[in-house]
Amino acid sequence: MDLLDLNRSSLDLNLKLMADLDEAHLDLPTPCAGWTVYELLRHQVESTLAFTASIRHEDVEAPASDDLTVAYRVATDAATEAFREDGALEREAEFPGYGLRRGRELVVGHFVDNLVHLWDLCRALGVDSTLDPELATAAYRMARHFPNTPDVRGPGKAFALPVDVPEDAPITDRLVGLLGRSPRWPA
């Protein structure tokens, strides 16, 4: 599966899970420190809009709807279209807080972020959080190249500090541990 297909698959899995959300789920805590399901969904919408704006060299648009599931669907469709534009993966784009990045790096960031947030959402809802092995393996290989520096990892940064997970643990556990989540986080 190529990078663009990996990204779209992670988005579609999030959309499928979000389709079953109701008002009662929005206040549930998530593995993202201090975030409820509502705040996690808001982040996914806002970050997807930011990735799209960066790749297109435009201002960030407002969400398409107050319904975060609808807003996420619209945002993910726009991101998918933007990432698939001719030359988008090779062009440099400014991403807030990270400077100039090639489009390919932005897609990697978007893919890993959305896949791990799928895990976060599953854990918050108390449903099976085992990620598709192909997606998790690809994300793990990509995320191992993310810097382990204070400007990228720690409180208020893109990722938390890694959590120790045995090397023989399932790939889902290794991925979420690499990105600062305890695989045993309780819902």
Using an 8 Å Cβ cutoff, are 174 and 140 in contact? Answer: yes
- In this prediction, residue 97 carries a pLDDT of 72
Nearest by Cα to 42 from 95, 54, 21, 59:
21
Find, among 143, 134, 15, the residue nearest to 80 by Cα: 15
Neighbouring C-alpha atoms within 13 Å toward the C-beta of 164: 0
CA 159 vs. chain centroid, Å, equals 11
Whether this prediction's pTM lies above 0.85 is answered by yes
Domain ranges across the chain: 3-178
- The CATH architecture one would assign to domain 3-178 is Up-down Bundle (1.20)
Taking only the tens of pLDDT, the chain with its 187 residues reads: 899 999 999 999 999 999 999 999 999 999 998 899 999 999 999 999 999 999 999 999 999 999 999 999 999 999 999 999 999 999 999 988 777 899 999 999 999 999 999 999 999 999 999 999 999 999 999 999 887 776 677 777 777 889 999 999 999 999 999 999 999 998 5
Tell me how far the alpha carbon of residue 100 is from its chain's centroid.
20
pLDDT at 95: 85
Backbone angles phi, psi at 93, to 5 degrees: -140, 145
Rounded Cα distance, 47 and 140, in Å: 20
